[in-house]
Structure 1
Amino acid sequence: MSPAGAGNRPADMAAVCPSSVPVKLGEGWLNTKALGAILGTPREATLEDIDYAVAAWVRGARLAKEAGFAGCQLHGAHWFLLSRSLSPHTNRRTDDYGGSPEKRVTLLNRLVKEIREICPRPNCLSAK
């Protein structure tokens, strides 16, 4: 759900997703053309991409703790990376991060583990 040219990502660079599955909101040709032009088809994340994303989330949690926040939340809704990782529709991977429900939750479990290492209780950690 990252529009072309959003943030620092160049317009010709595909968004990253657990699998290369385009967003589909309906069957109409206009919907398909508009989504294709705005969102495009994401590319499947490499293991290096996943490591990079985990490191970024962990860094964000560490910065929140250092800034004095009582905790952080992992946003796993609204078709962002975590929700797409959990969904069998958008996560068609065959490695440790996809397939069965237990494997599709691997990314979330890894995030919780790594964030908890640097932000132990009483810091709050939730997932939406």
Structure 2
Amino acid sequence: MLVTLALVASARPYSTIGFETDDLIETLDSETGAVRVHFSVEGPSATWIQDDDADGEPDFPMHALVVAEESLILYGLLGLEPLVPEADFGVEHGGSAAIDVYMPEFIQGADGSWRSDVC
């Protein structure tokens, strides 16, 4: 998968989604352009940026990118409606029309959240 690594300008339009102002944000874009992962390499929300497979990209954000892209493919295979792009709402919060995955530092030190809903 070809990925573009880009440094996001400090005056980013999505500063309210959990990153701190002193986080250094980078992005990974999927080859198709359908997904963009936003992550911090320095600052309070810095994520794991190890590159154990030596492909030139940080493994944890790359894993998030691959899983998001595979999820979109699965949605299609299951016959589900595609996600509504931000452009349909007149916004592009992540700097592109891609589906944005943000990896800020959440409370309790976790990158993400999972819970079981019971009805």
Note whether the superposition's TM-score is higher than 0.5. Answer: no
TM-score under structure 2 length normalisation: 0.27
Bigger proportion of residues as helix: 1
